[in-house]
Structure formats: structure tokens, C-alpha cells
């Protein structure tokens, strides 16, 4: 109902009497008609006179029915309110007749146009009746009566006498909106996209909360539109998803489903109330993802193996939309990473076995295989899974499992720390091709990635310390800077206590250099006849994992004077200290005087002791050499095998060794040093034995520390706290903890509480 005719100023010239209801309403109705059909037709002075007419009537004290102490504003307001309410009903009936013949988009256009005109006019009318709203309406509301502000009254009448009549005709209005949305979903071009938004907004505005009309209420929006919209959406995507999967691959479906979900979220932004988003997206996820989850999960493994990050990301984007999907993805990803790690190490072990029977796994190949699996799957987490915390945790858990237990480690959790420590030893040695070809800093950082997954960090610490000690005493470290850098990384990961001994080993090396220099100065002043070049390393017994030989050793007479002089010199510097000489780690250089070409022989102390015997005889038997050196026969035999192999000695008769006077070598400096097999074999067992012994003291110390803080504690709680505190270094076994408790009970560090066998108390 629109009109373009302007209201002449004369229409508002004759103000009605203050107390005359009929004349006042006739005057007001003419203005309201213009406002409700075309607000621009009312001149400014007309608004002023209309407002004054409302004010005059409401404040008149002679209105019919004025009783007692109730003011005119209270009484006359009821009459105007009733007239206005009836007016909105009649106005709606005129519009309703025109909707009977309209369908689909024509109906929507008419409805949206009338809604805009009606609400704009009602807003102006609400201002005209501001005095009525402030006084009579407010008083009625305060007294608990169902009365609205004028604008809200207009919406209520529109809803009851226009909107609901259309909806009662088979949801005619909402159905037209839904069909327009479906047209857009199928790709049809909708001429007036704003039309849907305008109609849907009216559904929202018509929700009225009787308790608080100013509060947003979505009951009409939900009952008359949202419920039907969600149901229609569900049916639409059930049909579309099944049809798409029947003709396309799962990979294509993942992309399409992601597009559909994105389109629905955009649809909410364009047309709907924001609170519809959650239910709409949830329903779409159920139809597009949950109902086809079996097909999606079947493609998960091949998809990960394909290394197509973008495709994996599509899957993640979909399944991560609901919690159970994300949990299942984490579980499947963890299983896949673990399987990849185990498979990679099986390949390394099989290759080592194919190369040689009973061959040890190559530490370099072992570490490379572990890192390859980690980096590949870490990239998947960061790129395809967008760094999701739960999937990153799944990667960590899987890595922890296959790093500690795999085909190379068997059932032991100590083998992996050993292999990683051996790989580090290769990295940190002189002439290391890996360090020359690649970035050593990067290689050390990669090792630290694996280190964080080790359960038995104390085993790694002991192997690392053993390897470091040999690099230092043999002078084969790549550089002090690289060693310090690695120790710094370990300190950052595990704390000061973990690396304290390692740092103090370098202090020993520095002090030993100073001691050697001062001894040489002393000898040059007091013993000018000293012809042996001599350097010494004095190492703390409690710091260095080095052990003296398990047999006696006869010091060759050629070095006895130097040996005695240093012993006396050291006692003058450090009275009361005892030196234990580690001949099994010492190195020597000898010069041949019996050959035409003079050679420098780099030897172990055992090789030196054997060769110096030939200063007095050209032929010696095995027994004679055992007697002369006190080296055990099995170790001496290995020493002799090396000397025979390089043709320093000749072994033509059993257990008889002759000096080869015709010895020749292409090199002037000949390195004869080779590790003794017995020592190599016992290194791992010695390390593990040391670790087990140390663990006993760590567990006992932890128990005492806990008891000192807690004073009394139950047995089970004590065991759990010990595990919690130690698990960062190694996984303590419960029987070992119980045994430590018994030892501390015997030593009276703790005691059982009287009357309770499972409660312990600290003994101060």
C-alpha cells in the first residue's frame, strides 16, 4: 500500500480539541496514513502538529473516565493505544489481500518492499507517540500489563495479522526463501540476492520477548524458518554428496566437501543470523563427513604415502571439524608414523645383515633413517595439519616408541642411546667427512631431536662421556668449539647436573697441559740428559670413565727414568694423591735404528713394550714376551698379530717371533695402533654395568630427597613420585625402587610408621 501524493500543510492546520478522542484520532489517522505509505509526503510542520495533538490529548484532564487521583495521561493513553492497535490491524489486512495471488520471488519482492515501508513508517509513528510511550505505556508495563512500545506494537500486529497468515498457507513465505537458496546452491544466478537477506531479517525482527520486548528473541526466526532451513539443507547435501561420490574419487570429494562447507558459512554471513552457524555447520559436517567417514578413512593411508601435502590438508580440514574425527586422525597418524619408523630401521638392519654376518648396525645409517621418518612426518604436521597440537603430540609419542624400541634395539631400551652416542662420536672427530660436507651445527641439532625422545638419557650420557674421554685423550676431537657447543645443547635440554662432569673433563685437560709444561721446564733445568719427549694427562677418577688394565704391566726400562721423575715431581706438587697409570690408553712413538730408512712407529704401550724387547734379542717366544711384559697371553697374541700383519715381526714357527730387519713401508710415519677386540667388546657391557650401579644411587638419593620434604608418605605414593622425578633421565623399574627402599630402611635413613607397614617416615 504505497502512495506518492503529498499531504498539504492545510491537512494539519486545524488542531483538534484537547479532550476530544474522535476528533483527535481523525486528525492523527490522516497523518499516520501518509507516514505508513510514504513518509516523505509529510511536511516538517505536520510532524510537529501531530506530536502536539498526541501530547495535548494525553495531558488533558477532562477526558471521559478520568477518576480519582489517576492523571489524564494515564487514562487517555488507553484510548489512543487501542485506536492505534486497531489501525495496524486494518493496515495489515489491506496488504494481505495482495499476497494471495503472489508466488515465489514475486511474493518475496512484495513482502520485502512492504516490510521496508511498514517498519520505516512505524518507526516514525513511534516517535510521534513518544509521550505516550514514556508515560502511559511505561506505567502499564511497570504494573505488569502486556503493553508494548508503539513500534513493537506495530511489529506484533504485522506478525499476527499479516506474516502468520502467509506462513499458515503451507509456509508460503519461508518456502519461497528456501527455494531461492537452493537455486543459489545449484549455481543459478539470483537477480536480487539482497532480497533473501531482507526477508530473513524480518523473521528475526518479529521475535518478541514479552518479558523484555527490547531483548532479541529468535523464536519466530527459529520456528518459522531455521528449523525448515536446516532440514532442507540436510536433505540437499545427502543427495548431492551421494551423487558426487558415485562419479568421483574420494580425493575429489574431500575438495568438494570443503567447498560446500565454505559456501554454507558464507551463506550465514550473507543472509542468516550468526547463531544459525553452529547448527548449520554441525549438520553439514554430519552429512558430508560423518556419514562417509568409512570411505574417507580408507583413503587416509594411501593419501599420507602419496606425499601430497595439499590433499592431506583437505582431509585434515574436514575431519578436524569434529572432536571424534580429530581424535581418530591423531590415533591413525601415530600408528602410521610408528610403523614407518619401525620399517625404516628394519631396512637398516637387513642391509647390515646382508653386508656381513653378525654385523653391527651402522650408527650413521641408523640415525639417518630415524631422522628421515621424523622430518617427513614433522613436515606433514606443520604444513598439512597446520601445526595442530594433538597431532604434534602424536608424532612425539610415535617417535618415542620407535626410537627406543625397534629392530636394531631388540627388547632393550639402551641400544638406541648407544648408537646415537656413537654417531655423535663420528661427527665430532677430526677428518670427519660428514662435518666437512654438511653443516656440523645442523647435524648436532638433528641429533638433539632424537635425544629428546630417548627414555634412558643416562645411558646416552655414559656412552657419550666414554666416547668424549677417548676423543680427548687421543687428541682426535674436531675442535674444542664443537665439543663445547654439543655440551651446551645437552645442558640446555637436561640441566647443569647432566653436563657438569663433561665440562670438568675439559678443565682436567687444561690443567694437564699446564702440568706437562711445568714438568718439562723442571726437567730441562735439573735433568738435561732427558731425551724422551713426554706429555702427561692427569685425569680425575670420578670424572673419567677410564679403567686401568686388569693385569700387571712391566714398564720398559727405557722409560723408567722418566716415569720415576714424574712420580716424584707430582708428589711434590700434590702430596698424598695416588696416580694410577692407564697404560692401556697410552700412546707412544718409536724410531727404528736397525733399518736403512728410519721410520717413526706410532704404537700403543703394549706394542711399545713388545718392540723394545727386540733391542736385546732378534728372536723371542710368546712365553718370553709374556714374562717380559706381564701382558696376558690373549691380549699379547692380538698385539703380536698386528705386528706380524704389518711385517714388523715374522712368525714362521709357532709361538716364535723374529724381528724383520728388512721391514719397509711407503710411509715414514707408520700407525700401528689398533683397538684390542676384548676391550671393544667389553665397552658396552662396562657402560651398562656402570649405568645400573649409578641408577641404584640415583633412586636412593631421590627417595631420601622426597622423604626429607614430605616427612611421611605411603609406599605407593612414594613409588609414583620417584618415577615422576626420575623419568626425565630414565624409566625406573618398580622392583628397583622397592629394593632401594629396603636398603634405606636397613641404613636407617627412613623407617616404617608404627601400625602401618605401607607408610614410611624420614629419620632426621
615 and 558 share a domain? no
Last residue of a domain, one of 629, 654, 674: 674
Q: Are 724 and 735 in contact (CB under 8 A)?
A: no
E-only strand ranges, 63-131: none
pLDDT value at residue 677: 62
595 and 557 share a domain? no
pLDDT value at residue 550: 81
14 and 132 share a domain? yes
600 and 645 share a domain? yes
Residue 16 in domain:
yes
pLDDT band at 62 (very low <50, low <70, confident <90, very high): low
Name the region of 308 (left: φ>0; alpha: ψ -120 to 50; beta: rest): beta
Mean pLDDT rounded to a whole number for the chain: 86
DSSP, residue by residue, 257-281: HHHHHHHHHHHHHHHS-TTHHHHHH
Residue 105 in domain:
no
Gap between the Cα atoms of 42 and 22, Å rounded: 22
656, with CB counted inside 10 A (0-12, 13-18, 19+), is: middle
Enter the C-alpha cell of residue 103: 508466488
pLDDT digits (tens, 9 = 90+) for 126-161: 998 998 888 888 888 888 888 889 999 999 999 999
Residue 724 contacts by C-beta under 8 Å, 6 or more apart in sequence? Answer: none
26 and 135 share a domain? yes
pLDDT value at residue 3: 44
Residue carrying the nine cell digits 516538517: 44
539 and 638 share a domain? no
Residue 95 in domain:
yes
671: helix, strand or coil: strand
Q: Are 297 and 222 in contact (CB under 8 A)?
A: no
CATH of the domain at 745: 1.10.10.10
| DSSP secondary structure code for residue 429 in this structure | B
Residue 653 in domain:
yes
Q: Which of 377, 562, 363 is nearest to 467 (CA)?
A: 363
Residue 52 in domain:
yes
Element (DSSP H or E) covering residue 588: strand 587-591
| DSSP secondary structure code for residue 604 in this structure | E
Gap between the Cα atoms of 226 and 478, Å rounded: 72
CATH of the domain at 539: 4.10.1030.10
Residue 745 contacts by C-beta under 8 Å, 6 or more apart in sequence? Answer: 751, 752, 760
pLDDT digits (tens, 9 = 90+) for 666-686: 999 999 888 776 555 566 777
Residue 93 in domain:
yes
Gap between the Cα atoms of 690 and 474, Å rounded: 23
pLDDT band at 357 (very low <50, low <70, confident <90, very high): very low
Gap between the Cα atoms of 310 and 307, Å rounded: 9
pLDDT value at residue 352: 76
Residue 367 in domain:
no
> Angle, nearest 10°, between helix axes 323-355 and 363-379?
160
pLDDT digits (tens, 9 = 90+) for 25-51: 888 888 888 888 877 767 778 888 888
Buried-state track 578-594, b at ≥16 Cβ within 10 A, e below 16: eeebbbbbbebebebee
Q: What is the layout of strands, in order, in the sheet containing 750-752?
A: 712-714, 759-762, 750-752
651 and 749 share a domain? no
CB atoms closer than 10 angstroms to residue 602: 15
Q: Are 341 and 368 in contact (CB under 8 A)?
A: no
Gap between the Cα atoms of 579 and 556, Å rounded: 18
Boundaries of domain holding 624: 586-674
Residues 55-63: contacts with CB within 8 Å, 24+ apart?
Answer: 55/131, 56/15, 56/18, 56/24, 57/16, 57/18, 57/19, 57/21, 57/24, 58/131, 58/132, 58/135, 58/136, 59/18, 59/131, 60/18, 60/19, 61/19, 62/18, 62/19, 63/19, 63/21
| DSSP secondary structure code for residue 348 in this structure | H
328, with CB counted inside 10 A (0-12, 13-18, 19+), is: middle
Among the ranges given (208-212, 407-411, 513-517), the one the predictor scored with the smallest mean pLDDT = 208-212
pLDDT digits (tens, 9 = 90+) for 505-548: 999 889 989 988 888 888 877 766 666 778 888 988 888 888 88
Angle at 13 between CA 8 and CA 17, to 5 degrees: 140
**Phi (first) and psi of residue 65, to 5 degrees:** 90, 5
CB atoms closer than 10 angstroms to residue 504: 13
pLDDT band at 199 (very low <50, low <70, confident <90, very high): very high
Q: Are 352 and 359 in contact (CB under 8 A)?
A: yes
Whether the per-residue pLDDT at 421 is higher than 90: the answer is: yes
Enter the C-alpha cell of residue 360: 653391527
Report the number of distinct structural domains present in the chain: 4
761: helix, strand or coil: strand
> Could you tell me what percent of the chain has a pLDDT over 70?
91
662 and 704 share a domain? no
pLDDT band at 77 (very low <50, low <70, confident <90, very high): confident
pLDDT value at residue 1: 46
Whether the per-residue pLDDT at 4 is higher than 70: the answer is: no
Q: What is the pTM of this model?
A: 0.72
31 and 63 share a domain? yes
617 and 540 share a domain? no
pLDDT value at residue 63: 47
Enter the C-alpha cell of residue 325: 574425527
Whether the per-residue pLDDT at 69 is higher than 50: the answer is: no
Q: Are strands 600-604 and 669-671 parallel, antiparallel or unpaired?
A: parallel
> Angle, nearest 10°, between helix axes 104-128 and 21-37?
140
137 and 28 share a domain? yes
| DSSP secondary structure code for residue 455 in this structure | S
Last residue of a domain, one of 653, 674, 695: 674
pLDDT band at 626 (very low <50, low <70, confident <90, very high): very high
- Give the mean model confidence (pLDDT) for residues 569-587: 88
Q: Are strands 656-659 and 759-762 parallel, antiparallel or unpaired?
A: unpaired
Last residue of a domain, one of 554, 583, 612: 583
pLDDT band at 554 (very low <50, low <70, confident <90, very high): very high
SS3 content of the chain, % helix, strand, coil (to 5): 65, 5, 30
591 and 715 share a domain? no
Element (DSSP H or E) covering residue 18: none
Enter the C-alpha cell of residue 683: 665397552
- Give the mean model confidence (pLDDT) for residues 388-396: 94
pLDDT digits (tens, 9 = 90+) for 585-613: 899 999 999 888 999 999 999 999 999 99
pLDDT band at 92 (very low <50, low <70, confident <90, very high): confident
pLDDT value at residue 673: 86
Q: Are 341 and 371 in contact (CB under 8 A)?
A: no
Gap between the Cα atoms of 438 and 344, Å rounded: 23
pLDDT value at residue 65: 43
Gap between the Cα atoms of 726 and 59, Å rounded: 86
Residue 377 in domain:
no
Enter the C-alpha cell of residue 157: 500486529
Angle at 285 between CA 279 and CA 286, to 5 degrees: 90
Amino acid at each position: 500500500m504505497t502512495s506518492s501524493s503529498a499531504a498539504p500543510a492545510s491537512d494539519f492546520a486545524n488542531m483538534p480539541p484537547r479532550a476530544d478522542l474522535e476528533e483527535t484520532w481523525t486528525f492523527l489517522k490522516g497523518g499516520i496514513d501518509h507516514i505508513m505509505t510514504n513518509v516523505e509526503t509529510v511536511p516538517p510542520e505536520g510532524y510537529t502538529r501531530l506530536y502536539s495533538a498526541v501530547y495535548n490529548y494525553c495531558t488533558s484532564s477532562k477526558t471521559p473516565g478520568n477518576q480519582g487521583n489517576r492523571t489524564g495521561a494515564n487514562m487517555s493513553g488507553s484510548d489512543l493505544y487501542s485506536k492505534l492497535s486497531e489501525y495496524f490491524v486494518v493496515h495489515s489486512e489491506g496488504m494481505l489481500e495482495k499476497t494471495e495471488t503472489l508466488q515465489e520471488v514475486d511474493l518475496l519482492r512484495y513482502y520485502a518492499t512492504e516490510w521496508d515501508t511498514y517498519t520505516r513508517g512505524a518507526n516514525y509513528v513511534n516517535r510521534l507517540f513518544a509521550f505516550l510511550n514514556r508515560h502511559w505505556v511505561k506505567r502499564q508495563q511497570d504494573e505488569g500489563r502486556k503493553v508494548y512500545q508503539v513500534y513493537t506494537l506495530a511489529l506484533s500486529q504485522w506478525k499476527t495479522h499479516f506474516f502468520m497468515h502467509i506462513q499458515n498457507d503451507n509456509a508460503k513465505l519461508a518456502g519461497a526463501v528456501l527455494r531461492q537458496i537452493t537455486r543459489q546452491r545449484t549455481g543459478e544466478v539470483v537477480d536480487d540476492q539482497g532480497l533473501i537477506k531482507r526477508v530473513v531479517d524480518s523473521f528475526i525482527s518479529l521475535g518478541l520477548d514479552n518479558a523484555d520486548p527490547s531483548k532479541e528473541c529468535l523464536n519466530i526466526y527459529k520456528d518459522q524458518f531455521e528449523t525448515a532451513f536446516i532440514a532442507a539443507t540436510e536433505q540437499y547435501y545427502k543427495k548431492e554428496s551421494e551423487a558426487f561420490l558415485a562419479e568421483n574419487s574420494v580425493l575429489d570429494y574431500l575438495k568438494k566437501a570443503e567447498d560446500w562447507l565454505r559456501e554454507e558459512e558464507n551463506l550465514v554471513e550473507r543472509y542468516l543470523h550468526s547463531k544459525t552457524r553452529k547448527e548449520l555447520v554441525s549438520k553439514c559436517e554430519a552429512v558430508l563427513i560423518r556419514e562417509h567417514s568409512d570411505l574417507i578413512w580408507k583413503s587416509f593411508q594411501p593419501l599420507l604415502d602419496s606425499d601430497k601435502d595439499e590433499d592431506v590438508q583437505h582431509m585434515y580440514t574436514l575431519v578436524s571439524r569434529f572432536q571424534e574425527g580429530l581424535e581418530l586422525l591423531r590415533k591413525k597418524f601415530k600408528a602410521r608414523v610408528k610403523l614407518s619408523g619401525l620399517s625404516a630401521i628394519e631396512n637398516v638392519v637387513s642391509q647390515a645383515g646382508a653386508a656381513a654376518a653378525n654385523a653391527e648396525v651402522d650408527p650413521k645409517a641408523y640415525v639417518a633413517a630415524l631422522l628421515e621418518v621424523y622430518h617427513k612426518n614433522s613436515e606433514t604436521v606443520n604444513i598439512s595439519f597446520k601445526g595442530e597440537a594433538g597431532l604434534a603430540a602424536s608424532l612425539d609419542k610415535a617417535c618415542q616408541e620407535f626410537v627406543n624400541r625397534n629392530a636394531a634395539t631388540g627388547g632393550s631400551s639402551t641400544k638406541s642411546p648407544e648408537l646415537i652416542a656413537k654417531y655423535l662420536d663420528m661427527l665430532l672427530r677430526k677428518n670427519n667427512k660428514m662435518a666437512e660436507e654438511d653443516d656440523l651445527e645442523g647435524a648436532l641439532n638433528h641429533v638433539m631431536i632424537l635425544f629428546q625422545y630417548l627414555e634412558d638419557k643416562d645411558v646416552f650420557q655414559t656412552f657419550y662421556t666414554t666416547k668424549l674421554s677417548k676423543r680427548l685423550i687421543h687428541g682426535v676431537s674436531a675442535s674444542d668449539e664443537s665439543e663445547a657447543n654439543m655440551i651446551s645443547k645437552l645442558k640446555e635440554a637436561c640441566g647443569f647436573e647432566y653436563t657438569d662432569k663433561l665440562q670438568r673433563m675439559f678443565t682436567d685437560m687444561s690443567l694437564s697441559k699446564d702440568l706437562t709444561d711445568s714438568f718439562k721446564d723442571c726437567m730441562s733445568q735439573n735433568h738435561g740428559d732427558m731425551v724422551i719427549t713426554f706429555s702427561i694427562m692427569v685425569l680425575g677418577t670420578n670424572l673419567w670413565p677410564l679403567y686401568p688394565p686388569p693385569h700387571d704391566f712391566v714398564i720398559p726400562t727405557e722409560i723408567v727414568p722418566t716415569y720415576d721423575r714424574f712420580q716424584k715431581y707430582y708428589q711434590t706438587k700434590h702430596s698424598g694423591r695416588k696416580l694410577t697409570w692407564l697404560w692401556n690408553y697410552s700412546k707412544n712413538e718409536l724410531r727404528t735404528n736397525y733399518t736403512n730408512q728410519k721410520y717413526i712407529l706410532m704404537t700403543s704401550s703394549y706394542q711399545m713394550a713388545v718392540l723394545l724387547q727386540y733391542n736385546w734379542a732378534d728372536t723371542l717366544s710368546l712365553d718370553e714376551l709374556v714374562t717380559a711384559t706381564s701382558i696376558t697371553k690373549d691380549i699379547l697374541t692380538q698385539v703380536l698379530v698386528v705386528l706380524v700383519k704389518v711385517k714388523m715381526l715374522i712368525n714362521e714357527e709357532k709361538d716364535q717371533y723374529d724381528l724383520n730387519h728388512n721391514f719397509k713401508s711407503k710411509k715414514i710415519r707408520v700407525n700401528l695402533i689398533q683397538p684390542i677386540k676384548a676391550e671393544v667388546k667389553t665397552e658396552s657391557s662396562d657402560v651398562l654395568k656402570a649405568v645400573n650401579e649409578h641408577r641404584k644411587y640415583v633412586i636412593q638419593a631421590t627417595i631420601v630427597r622426597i622423604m626429607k620434604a614430605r616427612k611421611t608418605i605411603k609406599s605407593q605414593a612414594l613409588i609414583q613420585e620417584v618415577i615422576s622425578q626420575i623419568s626425565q633421565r630414565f624409566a625406573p623399574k618398580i622392583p628397583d625402587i622397592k629394593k632401594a627402599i629396603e636398603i634405606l630402611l636397613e641404613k636407617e635413613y627412613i623407617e616404617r610408621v608404627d601400625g602401618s607397614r605401607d607408610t614410611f617416615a624420614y629419620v632426621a
